[in-house]
Amino acid sequence: MQRIFEKIRESAGLEISQYAFDKILRAMATDSYGWRIVDISDQPFNLVAETLKQMENTGYLKFVGSRIDLTRNGKNLLRQRGIYPKADFRCTHCKGTGYDVSTYEEMIAKFNETLEKLPRPESIQNRWIMTPESIFRRAMLMVQKGNSAGKEIVILKDADLLSLALALTRLPDKITVLEDNREMADYLFNLSHTARLPIEVHEYDLKDAIPKKFFGKYDVFMADPPEGYESLMLYLKRGLALLRPGEGQAGFFGLTHTEASLRKWQTLQRELLLMNDIVITDILYEFTEYENENFQPDKIQADVPIFQQKPTVPWYKSCVYRLETLEEFEPLSEPIEIHDDLMNEEQLAYSKKTEIKEET
Amino acid sequence: MQRIFEKIRESAGLEISQYAFDKILRAMATDSYGWRIVDISDQPFNLVAETLKQMENTGYLKFVGSRIDLTRNGKNLLRQRGIYPKADFRCTHCKGTGYDVSTYEEMIAKFNETLEKLPRPESIQNRWIMTPESIFRRAMLMVQKGNSAGKEIVILKDADLLSLALALTRLPDKITVLEDNREMADYLFNLSHTARLPIEVHEYDLKDAIPKKFFGKYDVFMADPPEGYESLMLYLKRGLALLRPGEGQAGFFGLTHTEASLRKWQTLQRELLLMNDIVITDILYEFTEYENENFQPDKIQADVPIFQQKPTVPWYKSCVYRLETLEEFEPLSEPIEIHDDLMNEEQLAYSKKTEIKEET
């Protein structure tokens, strides 16, 4: 195995451990479809793609369209390493999330209707967005936890339109979206105006200090940060700067296994818990699914053919974290230094020679 | 409100915050049944019981059998404080856990059958135990996460008989139970012998240092610690001492909101993350339900009448944490000093004049 591990390191600049390798093998034992292998392995995309490529080079598998075919050598390898396929006991009713969206069916219809009348601007259409079902599951989670009815909620960028979903529930007292994309901000303003919804939109770049009128003023924040470590922490620190002092405020954010390693999860957990008087109350595995509609295979480097075809199943999923503030919580006022790390070695876009930056 | 808060402090020795108070009010707005109020409020039992008592004393509510009846004053109070009933969107199929036990129906029947033939010893029957459904959900979670098939699993005390459930799946390579209760150890030995199951039972008191033959030898540990802070940490430290070095080992444990405040959750999270090279991968709300069968109302002090009647609905539930080890993980070898804190101010058993100990 050492040879494959070295090849992966050389080619992708990523370290792979025995354990991560076995998780990828386990995904291969479970499904042959490339995108499902990424989904099941819970490893950074680049690591999975590079591993598959090196295993093809070494004769353990063949690429057949968008699937892999294990060779005899490949099957032997799985047997030698004691790899079992991944079981799936997740409830089909709620897709393993524990939250049943059927109660919100009418609202989802209304949501889709609104979007048909007023489609998102093109620059946003090209981004990945959550499925409407997943958006409403987020909303339900917030309602169930008591973080929606009568609350003032702030959303840090909102390409997914959670603001619209929350507004349709008519429960929050106030919904504020902070958005740096001018087109999106204009769009949200129109949407809110046309549908007469209580959504406030403010143009604001998270890299700038938080305007005084927003600082420490909210009960709840929601964010779906890019997962480069610095951008991730930037979003969370801004979120924590927006919450009122004292206990009972909540923050929600998404985090994947596909763009963030468990090492990054750990660093984030440590930093969050020591940064302020907060506690993590929930970490919900694969709570959110994303649309494949806008997926652009040409943004992925062409050397792993099975990822050149548009995915036909949901495969990119995020987990949801929920934080709660305790008595000594104070909104964070520290200035934040930003270096540009929106891309890093665990990020999605697959490229053979990404410039690798050290982080954390 | 200050008067009620002071009364609660005086009488139960517990601090109550505006926020915790509102969570209890919210539960009261949602349901009138005492045990459901404890369940919904997600606050320590003693705090809920004392709050209800003081609210009765102050004319906000009346006790009617095992229910509460809000007076006009009580209803006004809820309105003034902007209290909304708690929504419930949890999937009825999987009880909001995301895990469907129907696949394991036959095994659950076999589990119950085994218990009919060989009932647990009396000293254990008087303890609270998980429902068979919940036991199998735990087992499914372990299987799904890849922490069961082909793994060596250690369980720290096992009144719930997770070992039996795991053995019935036939997936783990080895199941070891460490048990300090002699009667329980003998029982498990018989059970395993009679049903020809691969369960090893060892008599061992967690307060003693871990015997060398167990130290650093397992892939997975499972524990359901008592929730006094010291006992909680004792179990978790012992669990971490039993795992193999390096990445990919896992630990599972239960933790409630009924016997542990969010402050305790936070201290635990901070301590765990700094103690060793581990990450928290999942925190699953109310994953586990317990039987009411062995509930003994006479163990609860008689001054809050609505808790003198045996609960008729599941109300005591625990959340499940899952940890994973990373590369630098080393099994913990530090000696652990134990003071007797099996009871503390957040613990279940309701008593007006519990001796209060400072903790953490």
Residue B29: give its domain's CATH number: 1.10.10.10
Distance CA A154, CA A223 (A): 9
Same domain, residue pair A182 and A145:
yes
Same domain, residue pair B244 and B187:
yes
**b (16+ CB within 10 A) / e for A240-251:** bbbbbebbbbbb
Last residue of a domain, one of B45, B80, B115: B80
Q: Give B296-302's long-range contacts (Cβ < 8 A, gap of 24+).
A: B296/B126, B299/B349, B300/B49, B300/B349, B300/B350, B301/B350, B301/B351, B301/B352
% of residues, chain B, pLDDT over 70: 93
A94 and B93 in contact by Cβ < 8 A? yes
Half-sphere exposure of A11 (CA within 13 A, CB side): 23
Same domain, residue pair A75 and A134:
no
| pLDDT tens by residue, B201-237 | 999 999 899 999 999 999 999 999 999 888 899 999 9
Per-residue pLDDT of chain A (360 residues; tens, 9 = 90+): 788 899 888 887 888 999 999 999 999 999 999 999 999 999 999 899 999 999 999 999 999 999 999 999 999 999 999 999 999 999 999 999 999 999 999 999 999 999 999 988 887 776 779 999 999 999 999 999 999 999 999 999 999 999 999 999 999 999 999 999 999 999 999 999 988 899 999 999 998 999 999 999 999 999 999 998 888 999 999 999 999 999 999 999 999 999 899 999 999 999 999 999 999 999 999 999 999 887 777 777 678 899 988 899 999 999 999 999 999 999 988 777 766 554 455 555 444 334 333 333
Confidence class of residue B357 from pLDDT cuts 50, 70 and 90?
very low
Residues of A in contact with B281 (CB under 8 A): 262, 265, 283, 285
C-alpha closest to that of B321 among A283, A17, A72 = A283
A269 and B273 in contact by Cβ < 8 A? yes
Residue A262: which of B86, B146, B279 has the nearest Cβ? B279
B247 and A19 in contact by Cβ < 8 A? yes
| Enclosing domain of residue A280 | 101-325
Same domain, residue pair A62 and A172:
no
Same domain, residue pair A55 and A146:
no
Distance CA B42, CA B53 (A): 18
Q: Count other Cβ atoms within 10 Å, centred on residue A344.
A: 22
Distance CA B202, CA B182 (A): 10
Q: Between A225 and B301, where is the model more confident?
A: A225
Residue the block writes with tokens 């740096």: A180
How far, in Å, are B75, B163, B293 from residue B186 at the CA level?
A: 54, 14, 23
- Kindly identify which residue of chain B lies nearest to residue A324, measuring between CA atoms: B262
A144 and B90 in contact by Cβ < 8 A? yes
Taking the CA of residue A186 and the nearest CA in chain B, the distance in Å comes to 33
Q: What are the structure tokens assigned to A228, written together?
A: 């480069």
The answer to the question of residue B91 being in a domain is no
Distance CA B92, CA B96 (A): 7
Confidence class of residue B347 from pLDDT cuts 50, 70 and 90?
low
Output the DSSP codes for B119-135. Answer: PPPHHHHTS--B-HHHH
The answer to the question of residue B356 being in a domain is no
- Kindly identify which residue of chain B lies nearest to residue A172, measuring between CA atoms: B84
C-alpha closest to that of A232 among A142, A346, A152 = A346
The answer to whether A133 and A101 have CB atoms below 8 angstroms apart is yes
A19 and B279 in contact by Cβ < 8 A? no
- Kindly identify which residue of chain B lies nearest to residue A96, measuring between CA atoms: B98
Residue A285: which of B18, B88, B282 has the nearest Cβ? B282
B326 and A266 in contact by Cβ < 8 A? yes
Same domain, residue pair B302 and B197:
yes
A262 and B326 in contact by Cβ < 8 A? yes
Instruction: Identify the three-state secondary structure at position A262.
Output: helix
C-alpha closest to that of B44 among B238, B256, B212, B237 = B256
Q: Between B351 and A163, where is the model more confident?
A: A163
B90 and A98 in contact by Cβ < 8 A? yes
Residues of A in contact with B265 (CB under 8 A): 279-281
The answer to the question of residue B85 being in a domain is no
A326 and B262 in contact by Cβ < 8 A? yes
Distance CA A266, CA A353 (A): 27
A17 and B327 in contact by Cβ < 8 A? yes
A100 and B91 in contact by Cβ < 8 A? yes
Q: Between B301 and B348, where is the model more confident?
A: B301
**Phi, then psi, of A55 in degrees rounded to 5:** -70, -30
Taking the CA of residue A266 and the nearest CA in chain B, the distance in Å comes to 5
The answer to the question of residue A346 being in a domain is no
**b (16+ CB within 10 A) / e for B272-303:** bbeebbbbbbbbbbbbbbbbbeebeeeebbee
Distance CA A249, CA B117 (A): 51
The answer to the question of residue B106 being in a domain is yes
Same domain, residue pair B249 and B167:
yes
Question: Predicted ipTM?
Answer: 0.94
Same domain, residue pair A187 and A131:
yes
The answer to whether A265 and A318 have CB atoms below 8 angstroms apart is no
Does an H or E element contain A6, and which? helix A2-12
Residue A84: which of B149, B262, B279 has the nearest Cβ? B149
Q: Count other Cβ atoms within 10 Å, centred on residue B31.
A: 18
C-alpha closest to that of B327 among B276, B281, B283, B275 = B276
The radius of gyration of chain B from alpha carbons, rounded to an integer in Å, stands at 21
A22 and B274 in contact by Cβ < 8 A? no
The answer to whether B55 and B3 have CB atoms below 8 angstroms apart is no
The radius of gyration of chain A from alpha carbons, rounded to an integer in Å, stands at 21
Same domain, residue pair B163 and B54:
no
Last residue of a domain, one of A45, A80, A115: A80
Same domain, residue pair B246 and B143:
yes
Instruction: Identify the three-state secondary structure at position A175.
Output: strand
Taking the CA of residue A160 and the nearest CA in chain B, the distance in Å comes to 21
Contacts of B249 (CB under 8 A, 6+ apart): B218, B219, B220, B243, B324, B325, B329
Within chain B, where are the H helices? 2-12, 18-30, 34-41, 45-57, 72-80, 105-117, 122-125, 132-144, 162-169, 182-194, 229-242, 262-275
C-alpha closest to that of B1 among B28, B23, B22, B29 = B22
- Kindly identify which residue of chain A lies nearest to residue B15, measuring between CA atoms: A327
Q: What burial class does residue A271 get, using C-beta atoms within 10 Å of its C-beta: 0-12 exposed, 13-18 middle, 19+ buried?
A: middle
Taking the CA of residue B299 and the nearest CA in chain A, the distance in Å comes to 30
The answer to the question of residue B350 being in a domain is no
Residues of A in contact with B327 (CB under 8 A): 17
Distance CA B70, CA B76 (A): 9
Q: What is the domain-level CATH number for residue A176?
A: 3.40.50.150
The answer to whether B325 and B278 have CB atoms below 8 angstroms apart is yes
pLDDT of residue B10: 87
Same domain, residue pair B154 and B58:
no
The answer to the question of residue A340 being in a domain is no
The bridge status of strand B250-255 relative to strand B317-325 is antiparallel
Residues of B in contact with A93 (CB under 8 A): 91, 93-94, 100
Of the residues A40, A41, A88, A94, the best mutation for testing chain B's interface (the one with the most B CB atoms within 10 Å of its CB) is A94
Same domain, residue pair B314 and B233:
yes
Summarize the confidence of residues B132-152 as an average pLDDT. Answer: 97
- Kindly identify which residue of chain A lies nearest to residue B21, measuring between CA atoms: A248
Distance CA A239, CA B126 (A): 47
Give the number of domains in chain A.
Answer: 2
The answer to the question of residue B130 being in a domain is yes
Residues of A in contact with B324 (CB under 8 A): 262
Taking the CA of residue B94 and the nearest CA in chain A, the distance in Å comes to 6
The answer to whether B146 and B167 have CB atoms below 8 angstroms apart is no
pLDDT of residue A1: 78
pLDDT of residue A358: 38
Q: What are the structure tokens assigned to A315, written together?
A: 């495969």
Angle between helices B262-275 and A262-275 (to 10 degrees): 130
Of the residues B14, B40, B81, B91, the best mutation for testing chain A's interface (the one with the most A CB atoms within 10 Å of its CB) is B91
B98 and A92 in contact by Cβ < 8 A? no
Q: What is the DSSP letter of A145?
A: T
Residue the block writes with tokens 């003032």: A152
Distance CA B135, CA B289 (A): 9
Distance CA A318, CA B266 (A): 24
Residues of A in contact with B270 (CB under 8 A): 273-274
Q: Identify residue B337 by its one-letter amino acid code.
A: E
The answer to whether A332 and A206 have CB atoms below 8 angstroms apart is no
